[in-house]
Amino acid sequence: MLRDTPSTVYLKDYLPPEFLIDQVMLWFDLDETETRVRSRLELRRNPAAQSRSPDLRLHGEQLELISLSLDGQPVAPAGYLQDDEGLTVRQVPDQFVLESEVRILPQQNTALEGLYKSGGLFCTQCEAEGFRKITWYLDRPDVMSRFTTTICADKQRYPVLLSNGNPSDTVELEDGRHRITWTDPFPKPAYLFALVAGDLRAIEDSHTTPSGREVTLRIYVEPENIDKCDHAMASLKRAMAWDEQQYGREYDLDIYMIVAVNDFNMGAMENKGLNIFNSKFVLASPATATDRDFQGIESVIAHEYFHNWTGNRITCRDWFQLSLKEGLTVFRDQEFSADMGSRGVKRIEDVRLLRAHQFAEDAGPMAHPVRPDSYMEINNFYTVTVYEKGAEVVRMQANLLGPEAFRGGTDLYFERFDGQAVTTDDFVQCMADAGQRDLGQFKRWYSQAGTPELTIQGVYDAAQQTYTLTVEQHCPATPGQPDKEPFLIPLAVGLLDDRGTDLALRLAGDSDPGPTTRMLEISEPRQQFVFEQVPVAPVPSLLRGFSAPVKVRFDYSNEQLMFLMAHDSDGFSRWDAAQTLAQRILLQLVDDPDSLVPEGFVQAFRQALQDSASDPALLAEVLTLPAESYLGDQMAEVDVEGIHRAREQLKTLLASELKTELLAVYRDNEVTGEYRPDADAIGRRSLRNLALGYLMQLEDQAIQALCIAQYRAGNNMTDVITALSLLADRDIPETAELLEGFYQQWRDDPLVLDKWFSLQAMSKRPDTLERVKGLLDHPAFSIANPNKVRSLIGAFCSGNPVRFHAADGAGYRFLSDRVLELDQLNPQVAARMVRLMTRWQRYDPARQRLMQTQLERILHTSGVSRDVYEIVSKSLE
């Protein structure tokens, strides 16, 4: 906990390590009161070091030193110095062996970083800087070493003992304990170290790689969950085959293990050969998991698997390069999911997430580049910018190079840097070399924060038959970056003729007409593109497929948007046109509840609902109105109540105008037979549940009965939880009983209870905050469990804007109370929660003051963590 103001770490201060570690041997003695860790490090001076101090400085926190020796000789007390952050060993030789023993207390580790207990299991989480809570080490990603790990524990409580690499035989010891040694042949940074011990069961399968290596695949879970691992295993096998096919990358050890734990700060972790997962991203059965859960599992399993090449074999030189592994790996998992399901829908979902969260981050006090240049606490930089915008930055390189050169670029990257710790510049250089082009300007995407805005105008010249697009780019200032240099932006455009058909595009100077979508390269503040031989005034389709993470301003008429909605050949752009139009209408309703909703809009919805040929999943996306928080982001000052009212009003209007069509969609899209989470069934369920959501706006008893019937039929969790959420929004007499029944039915399944907490937290009912406060005391709730915190507190504060931002400030007080309580236990999760209050400048003066008051209160609480301090202090600057 904090004593002084935390210091800032800068990218510009990077220096190569002074020492390297060739070999590490670790011995763990796991016990109920304490754990002993012995380590043996083979150290030598780094020939590439740029500085030379006589001493060795190692990281280490919350370690109790028991013994220390150098080359077999105990180090005298004068020979070392221990402080809060590490250990200095004085006057060391150029090459030596350092042995130490420390005592640590995993049972008291509530931060869930380092070695900790989750239920009856021992597990570790070392990224980013958790290994230093296990033993003294050079805990930085550019120190890669070979690890040998011996684990010793009580055999009955901990029959399964796991670490990275390949296992030796177990040795039975006399005192009821047993011991095993794991050897990882691949050098790795300490953040990829993992250890698990517990009473676990596993399902096993195997995969043969193209080169003929047979890999044993195991998923370990607590005994009661053994029947919920099949989807994860099938996903893993698909991911392995896909990476072989798409990137020519195969797995490199004889065994690949995944362990599911209930207490985990993030989604999952790519430790070499031994991934540790939040159980939310492993366990699924039709009765307990929704379609979203099934999809989430497939994508997170793939993400962690893909890290083996993009992250582990080639890792980050320093934590400023985090997006090197995360942006690239997210891009890879997005493409994998697109190939496994519906590509168009996947793209829409990813863009929706990016716009809702990353654009907001880019416009707020925590805005930072994809490659940040400073931080106080690295854990605060596992952000949507580093991950999702980072993925878009990789995608843009693929857009600029085309698929073949992009694949050439990744091949080159693996060839050039295998076994090394490198930078985002190194990655881009591979792309530049493979694409044979200069990407110098492109690299600004890594160094400049903020979301660029493109203002586009189109002029048709009937006499010349030309269409001229004028594109201007501008990027708003972000903290520490008042002025931006122009970006290189791939802008995919098409032109539709008056029947909605794509025109072949011929740019001035082209000898032949080109394809119907062109990737324009925007590099100047202002640029013009002249299309020739354009027979009619076209409607432009801009930013097809969301070819760059930018905002586009073009002065479309409502009619043009409806035209694009109906005809654009690009699915993403059809959806985007619908969103733009819906947003325009909603913002008008915010201003004036009596403003008229264009009849054409309702008609477009009607047509979409009646179009039996269209893909239900895509249709569900088109018919989903922009979220309240996203609408708020589009306003100069967020009108919390106005937005909520307008959105409810439009939903109700659409429901009453389109009741017949919605009921037909509901009836026609029932999915019968055994539950399957395939693209078709998922699409139909989502459309059907969307229709039910609209219909429930009508406060109609027959429809409520339909909703209750859907809940009771209960053949899959998607339908059940949708129905229960819709009921929980309303004052329907049955609701209380149904909620209680649901709890009784699922009281032993923590993941299902997470959904139960969330849906109550997101209820539109006016008394929701009181209920949420009540649920804090529910026996199934625990503030020590991150999933519970996210599903109750997180869901309320981020998923229920109208209640969280209540004018009296009760929501803000609630959040700051929880943050202070949580910060004592788990600073990482506390810092995630406090972010939900940091965009106070977007609100009216009264709410601003209320939020500032709470933020200041947090900042001035003594002992606040570095994690929370960084977020709060930056938000108040």
Binding site for Zn ion (CB under 5 A): 326, 329
The option from ligand PHE, Zn ion, none interacting with 609 (CB < 5 to 8 A, set by class) reads none
Spatial CA neighbour of 391 closest among 312, 314, 454, 337: 337
- Give CA–CA dist 133/526, Å, rounded: 52
**Which residue's Cβ has the minimum distance to ligand PHE?**
266
Structure tokens at 223: 């005994």
For ligand PHE, give the closer residue by CB, 270 or 628.
270
Token pair in block for residue 51: 């500085």
Q: For residue 388, how many C-alpha atoms fall within 13 Å in the half-sphere facing its CB? A: 20
Which of 549, 489, 499, 496 is CA-nearest to residue 519?
A: 489
Closest distance between ligand PHE and the C-beta of residue 290, in Å? 22
What's the rounded Cα separation, in Å, for the pair 269 and 192? Answer: 8
Number of residues in contact with ligand PHE, rule: CB under 6 A?
Answer: 11
Q: Smallest distance from the beta carbon of 281 to Zn ion, in angstroms?
A: 12
How many separate helices (H) and strands (E) can be counted in the chain?
30, 32
Residue (282 or 855) nearer to Zn ion, CB: 282
Instruction: Report, in Å, the least distance between residue 109 CB and ligand PHE.
Output: 14
Structure tokens at 426: 């190194």
Q: Which residue, 180, 164, 158, 145, is CA-closest to 40?
A: 145
Q: How far is the CB of 257 from Zn ion (least distance, A)?
A: 18
From 268-276, 517-525, 625-633, 751-759, give the range in contact with ligand PHE by CB under 6 A: 268-276
Q: Among 37, 138, 269, 505, which residue sits at the site for ligand PHE (rule: CB under 6 A)?
A: 269
Contact 218, 296 (CB under 8 A): no
Taking CB under 6 A as the rule, does residue 382 contact ligand PHE? yes
The yes-or-no answer on residue 628 being catalytic is no
Q: With respect to ligand PHE, which residue has the nearer C-beta, 114 or 344?
A: 114
Tokens coding 527: 């640029």
Closest CA to 336 of 299, 373, 362: 299
C-beta of residue 509 within 8 angstroms of C-beta of residue 572: no
**Residue 135 found at the interface with ligand PHE (CB under 6 A):** no
Q: At what angle do helices 424-435 and 403-417 cross, to 10 degrees?
A: 130
Closer to ligand PHE by CB, 37 or 269: give it. 269
From the list Zn ion, ligand PHE, none, which binds 266 (C-beta under 5 to 8 Å, kind-based)? ligand PHE
Q: Do residues 795 and 815 touch, judged by C-beta distance below 8 A?
A: no
Give the one entry of Zn ion, ligand PHE, none that residue 75 binds, where binding means its C-beta sits below a cut-off of 5 to 8 angstroms depending on kind.
none
Q: Which of 842, 870, 862 is nearest to 360 (CA)?
A: 842
Can residue 568 be called a binding residue for ligand PHE (CB under 6 A)?
no
Q: Are 49 and 16 in contact (CB under 8 A)?
A: yes
- Alpha-carbon distance of 640 to 647, in angstroms, equals 11
> What is the nearest approach in angstroms of ligand PHE to the Cβ of residue 804?
26
**Which range binds ligand PHE by CB under 6 A, 244-252, 264-272, 467-475, 736-744?**
264-272
| Binding-residue pattern over the window 287 to 326 for ligand PHE, x denoting contact by CB under 6 A | ----------------xx---------------------x
- We find the least distance from the C-beta atom of residue 224 to ligand PHE, in angstroms, to be 25
Query: From the candidates 250, 304, 326, 870, which is the catalytic residue?
Result: 304
142 touches, from ligand PHE, Zn ion, none (C-beta below 5 to 8 Å by class): none
CB closer to ligand PHE, 125 vs 385: 125
| Interacting residue with ligand PHE among 195, 268, 695, 820 (CB under 6 A) | 268
Q: Which helix (H) or strand (E) holds 232?
A: helix 230-247
Residue 266 is a binding residue for ligand PHE (CB under 6 A): yes
Binding letters toward ligand PHE, positions 323-362, x by CB under 6 A: ---x------------------------------------
Of the candidates 543, 582, 545, 536, which has an alpha carbon nearest to the alpha carbon of residue 562?
582
* Cα–Cα nearest to 258, from 241, 287, 278, 239: 278
**Which residue's CB is nearer to ligand PHE, number 303 or number 788?**
303
Nearer to ligand PHE, 261 or 534 (CB): 261
Residues 6+ apart with CB under 8 A from 490: 396, 399, 400, 519, 520, 521, 522, 547, 548
Cα 768–644–752 angle (5° rounding)?
45
Stretch 112-131: interaction string toward ligand PHE, x if CB under 6 A = -------------x-x----
Q: Which is nearer to Zn ion, 329 or 760 (CB)?
A: 329
In one-letter notation, the amino acid at residue 256 is: Y
- Does 270 contact ligand PHE by CB under 6 A? yes
In whole angstroms, how close is the CB of 475 to Zn ion at the nearest point?
Answer: 27
- Please give the sequence-ordered ranges of beta strands (E in DSSP) within 71-120, or none if there are none: 73-74, 80-82, 86-89, 95-104, 114-118
Residues forming the active site? 304
State the residues that interact with ligand PHE by CB under 6 A.
125, 127, 265-266, 268-270, 303-304, 326, 382
